[in-house]
Structure formats: C-alpha cells, structure tokens
Structure 1
Amino acid sequence: MYFKSRVVALVLAIMVAIVTVAFLSLLPEINETIMLVAGLLSFASTYLLVYVTFEFLVIREISEIYNVLNRMRKKDFSFIEDFESTNSNHPLKRINREIYKYGVNKHKEIEDLKRLEAFRREFLADVSHELKTPVFAAQGFVHTLLDGAIDDKKVRRKFLKRAAKSLDNLDKLIQDLLTLSQIETGEIKMHFEHFNIVPLASEVIDQLENKAERKDLTIRFDQPYNSPIFVHADADRIYRVITNLVSNAIKYTESGEILVGFEVEGQKVQVYVKDTGVGIPPEHLSRIFERFFRVEKSRSKEMGGTGLGLAIVKHILEAHNTKVSVISTVGKGSTFSFKLPIGQGADGLEDGTVDTEEFEELEEEN
C-alpha cells in the first residue's frame, strides 16, 4: 500500500510539473530559470499533497477496513470500545464503523441462533426423557396384566392404580407444556383485575395443607392479615404462581414450615413464600427457572413433579411485567418472592388495604 500511494503521487506530480512548465513556456517574458523553479515547486507540492492525501486519508483507512474485516473473521471484537468512542465525520471512517456494526450484529445473530439450537436440542431431549418415564411405567403395568397378572384380583387392582398414576403424570406434563407454549405464543391472555390476594393465598394454603401434613410440615401466613390487600393482576394466574411456589417448597422441605407473606412497598405488594428446606446451591440459582432443570435429578424424580413449575411461574410473572426473585441458603431454606402493583380497594383508593368492616360488608353484598 505504501509503495502504491508513493507511485501515484510521483506520477501525478510529474504530470502537474510538465503541464506547469509547458504553460509557462508559452509566455515570452519567462526564462528557463523561472520555468525550472516553477516546475520543481509544482512537482514537490503536488507530490506531497497527493501522497499525504492518499496515505493518510485513503490508504490508511482502507487498510483499517481490511484490518477490521480480518479481526471480525477471527471473531475478535476486543476493539468495540474504540469504535464506539469514535465520532469522526470522515466518510471512510464512517464506512468502517458501519461495517463493524453490521459484523457485530451478524455475529450476535449467529450466536443467538446457536444458543437457540442448543436449547432446542436440550429441550427435545428433556421432553423425550420426561415423556418416556410415565409411558414406559404404564406400558410395563399393562403388559404385565396382559401376560397373566390380570387373573389375580389384588395384583390387577394394584397395577391398574399404578398405570393410572403414570398416565395422570403424563397428562399433567402435557398440560404444563401446553400452558408454557400458550403463554409464550400469547395465546393465553392475562385478564387483569383488582382483587384481594389474602383469601386467594389462603385458598392455596387450604388446598395444599393435606400434602404438607403428610410430611409433618406446617403451612401458614407469616402473620395475621386481618385487612385485605388488593393487587392488580390476573387472579387465576397468580393463584397458579403461588400454588407452584408453595408446592415446590413442600417438595424440598423435610422438616419445619412454609410461610406465605405480603409486604406493601410504595405502589407495589411483595408476595413471598419462605421454606426451611434443603436450599439451592449458588451455582444453580440462575438455572432453576429453566424447563426440566432439577438440582438433584435423582431425588427430584422420586419427589414427583413435571420439572416445569418454576418455568411456568417465571413466564406468568413476565407477562405481568415483573419477575420472581430467590434468596437461598443450602441447609437453611429458600425464599421466593415477586411484586405486583397495588390494586384498587373497596374504598376506590389504590392503597392496597381497606377497612376490615367495609370489606366484610362488600363481601356480603357480593
């Protein structure tokens, strides 16, 4: 590049010098000394001007473009800050920046596609594995009955119960997969309304109380909530969220209790579910909301569940423009929480709570 720019400058300088001398020779009063000096000056000035222009304004920028392309080809984007801080109006510099931005965007698209492809493969493998377990179990029980065990009334009833349980698990898995798919594609629309979240959570506690008692666990509110707490959300979906969180807490708690609580913070209501379970190792906290992810897969299989509960929680809350947070200590327990906007109470004010007597009167009217 250096050689070419010098050659171009030399050729142009010679041509300009020749033209200058030829023009001066047409004037009668100009002698040879003046023409020689004029020729040398025009040659030198033209050479320097063309060389500097080509070398520093054209050739160097073109070389930089090649350098950028080579580094992008090698997936070296370490010079991103240099380009982001450059505000030159030079046309070649702008072209260089545009090439760089285009390359970075394409690189990100390719990386995203690779991640999606890896996720798709992992998801299909997980789905296949999860579907295989209940199908094979039901298959085994049915074939055992067909091979002669059906004649034994006691064995027949036992195996049919197990086959039915496996098929129920299969149905639950399929329903959870459909729910996730519908939320992601927008087929399930959130129906936002103002409602009191206290009785809703109380209903979840009542529903799962027997399940907790079988493990000698206690589910309760962290404190008495005598006044209603109104939120603005989809009541059915929030019911599903709290159910999944409490059910998950029961599953991973061997002793102690599960607490459900609320805290009004400004224009938000924080809902949290706290357990005294096994806890979650720090390295797994970022992945627990992935589909089918289990911290201890062998133990989780024994405990049941589809492995989609927390993934459904995450997607429902994202549809509410909020997210679920988790604080966990191994061996001490976990606290899952999320925030919802304060709803309009019975008094028409968005303060989250209303007078208990007014609320009871409203309930009686409804």
Structure 2
Amino acid sequence: MLHTARAVAILLALSVAGITAAFLSLVDGVSSLGVLVSFLVAGAATYLLSFITLEFFIFREINHIHEVLHKLKKKDLSFLQEASAKDTRNPLRRINQEIFNFAGLKQREIEELKRMADFRREFLADVSHELKTPIFAAQGYIYTLLDGAADDEAVRTRFLQKAANSLDGLDVLVQDLLMLSQLETKQIRMYYSYFNLAELIRAVFDQMEGKAESQGIALRLPADFPEQLWVWADKQRIQQVITNLTSNAIKYSNDSPEGGGWVEAQVREEGDRIRVLIKDNGRGIPAEHLNRIFERFYRVEKSRAKVSGGTGLGLAIVKHILEAHKSQIDVQSEVGKGSVFSFRLKKRKDKRSRSQQTELAE
C-alpha cells in the first residue's frame, strides 16, 4: 500500500503542477523561471498533502481492514486484543472498529457455544451414569425374584427392600435434577421473610446429629454462638443450603487423616451482612478442583462417588439458591487440613410487623 499511495500522490502532484504551470504560461508577464518555480512548488505541495492523506487516512486503514478480513477467513482472532475503543471521525477507522467489535462478539458466541457443547456432552454422560446405577440395581433384584427367588420369603423381602432403596435413590436424583433445572430457569421463586438464622442452624445440626454420630463425626457450635440472629432470606431454601453443606462436610470429615472428624458452624457479622461458615477437618480439596466442585455431578474423587453416596448435585443446588439471593458460595480448602464453605445473607435492619415480614421476592 505504501507504493500505491506514493504512485497516486505523484500522479496527482504532476497533474496539479502541470495544470498550474500551463495556466501561468498563458498569463502575460510571467517568466519561464516563474512557471518552473510554480510547477515545482505546486507539485511538491500536492505530493506531500496527497501522500499523507492517502497513506494515513485511507490506504493504511484499508490495508488494516484487509488484514482483519484475511485473519477472519483463517479463523485467527488474535487481532481482537489490538482493538481500540477510541472515538474517531475517520469513517474507515470506524468501519474497522465495527469489524473488531463484530469479530469480538462472534468470538465470544463461538466460545460460549463450545463451552455449552462440552457441558452438554459431560452432563449427558454424567446423568446417564447416575441414572443407570439405581435402575440396573432395581432391575437385577426384580428379575432375580421373577426367576424364582420370590418363593423364599426371606429372600423376597430382602430383595424387594433393596429394589425399593434403589428406586428411592433414583427418585431423589430426579427430584434434585428437577429442582436444579427450575432454579437455573428461575421457575422457583424465593419467598423472603425475617427469621432466626441461629435457631435454623441449631435445628439442622439436631436433625443431622444421628447421621454424624453413625460416622464418628462431631457436630459442634462455638461457645459464643448467638441465640438470635435475624436475617432476610427464604428460610426453606437457606435451610436446604445449610443442610447440603453440613451433609457434604460430614461425608468427607470421616476421611480426616488425624481421626476424630468434626463439623462446625460459625456466624460473623460483616456490616449489613451475616456470614455463615461451615467448617470441617476432612482431607480437603486440591486447588485444581475448587473451580469445578459446584458443577453438576462433579466429584473430586470419581472412584469414591458411590461409596460416599449422594446425587452429586448438592453443591450445584447450593450455588444456584445463593445466586437467587444475590449472594455467592465461597470455599477455602487445604489438603490434609479441611475445608470452609461460607456465604452471606442480609441481616435485619429494622423491626416490622408480622403481616409485613413475608412477601414474594420480585
């Protein structure tokens, strides 16, 4: 483009200088030297102005547009990092900027489509694996009974109970999937009210005490744990969050390398928010897994999935419930020392009548 701009500038300069010299030669009293000087001055001035205009305002921008289009054909989008959002009056530069913006939008769309395609493939594989286990188990017990084992009353009762347990697990999985789908599509609305968070945490710990004791896990609250701590949230959903986090902590605290596993709940006031922390002294989570533990069916140790139980959807449900509360779940973990899951809720600022306490979230 440099040579093209120079060639066009030379042609324009010669044309303008020639016309100027020809016109002056027709004027009486103008010497040949004057005509020559006019020719040179007009030619030089026209060349400089034409070259600068063509090179910096037209040909350079056209060349840039050509390079961008060439890279788009090759699906090379590295040029997106060079895009500038500066305002300009140059129409060609604005066109170039529009190409940058369009390419950036398409690149993000392509990346999102790839991410969703990968997610769908993983989800289908995971849900197929999770569904087939209880279905095959129930099928096995029922077909065994049909093949003649039903004649033995003791075997019949035991196998029917095992088949029922497998179907119960399948029902829990389907219900969790349905709830997660409704949360993601915002079909489940949050019903906010003021409630005593401290009382709710105690109720959850009392409810899960039997499960914890059966696995040798101690559920504990700090000595300064408050009697009352009022927050503004959906009580039923927050109860589900605390239950899922506590159940998850119990599940992995029995892996404590030191023995004597424990799970502890703490609360902290942070301005107009209350932070809830669920701590355990289990094996902890490796750093490379922390960004993925809230995905559906994701388990840090695949080999222990069935031994540990659960649907693999608990933390994903927790994440979406808290996002609906304009909050988020945070996790800190150290291998060999345990994990801390925490989230924040709005605390009560003023007192309201009971008739005003419960309303439907917008």
After TM superposition, is the score higher than 0.5?
yes
Q: Aligned to 1:340, which of 338, 342, 345?
A: 345
Q: Which runs of 5+ in 1 are unaligned?
A: 350-366
Kindly indicate whether residue 82 of structure 2 is the aligned counterpart of residue 77 of structure 1: no
CA distance in 1, matches of 2:71, 2:56: 21
Alpha carbons 1:252, 1:277 under 8 Å: kept: yes
CA distance in 1, matches of 2:268, 2:34: 95
Counterpart of 1:310 in structure 2 is 315
1:241/1:11 CA distance change after superposition, 3 Å: same
Kindly indicate whether residue 311 of structure 2 is the aligned counterpart of residue 297 of structure 1: no
Report which stretch shifted further, 321-330 or 22-31: 22-31
Counterpart of 1:59 in structure 2 is 59
Counterpart of 2:114 in structure 1 is 114
CA distance in 2, matches of 1:331, 1:151: 51
Q: What whole-Å deviation, never above 9, does each CA across 1:54-88 have from its counterpart, x for those lacking one?
A: 123221222223334445545353672x5448565
Offset at residue 45 of structure 1 (A): 2.4
Report which stretch shifted further, 69-78 or 98-107: 69-78
Alpha carbons 2:284, 2:334 under 8 Å: kept: yes
CA distance in 2, matches of 1:250, 1:163: 26
Q: Which runs of 5+ in 2 are unaligned?
A: 255-259, 354-362
Counterpart of 1:364 in structure 2 is none
Q: What is the TM-score with the length of structure 1 in the denominator? A: 0.88
Match of 1:59, as an amino acid?
Answer: F
Counterpart of 2:278 in structure 1 is 273
Offset at residue 161 of structure 1 (A): 0.8
Offset at residue 226 of structure 1 (A): 5.2
The alignment of Structure 1 onto Structure 2 pairs a total of residues equal to 347
Offset at residue 280 of structure 1 (A): 1.2
Report which stretch shifted further, 138-147 or 271-280: 271-280
Kindly indicate whether residue 252 of structure 2 is the aligned counterpart of residue 260 of structure 1: no
Offset at residue 232 of structure 1 (A): 0.5
Counterpart of 1:160 in structure 2 is 160
Counterpart of 1:246 in structure 2 is 246
CA distance in 2, matches of 1:12, 1:225: 87
Report which stretch shifted further, 176-185 or 272-281: 272-281
Percent identity between matched residues is 52
Offset at residue 325 of structure 1 (A): 1.3
Offset at residue 207 of structure 1 (A): 1.5
Q: What whole-Å deviation, never above 9, does each CA across 1:112-161 have from its counterpart, x for those lacking one?
A: 11111111111111111111111111111111111111111111111111
Q: What whole-Å deviation, never above 9, does each CA across 1:188-220 have from its counterpart, x for those lacking one?
A: 001111110122112211221111121122223
Kindly indicate whether residue 125 of structure 2 is the aligned counterpart of residue 125 of structure 1: yes
CA distance in 1, matches of 2:37, 2:25: 13
Aligned-pair Cα RMSD in Å: 2.2
Please show how residues 232-243 of structure 1 align to structure 2 within 5 Å: 232-243=232-243
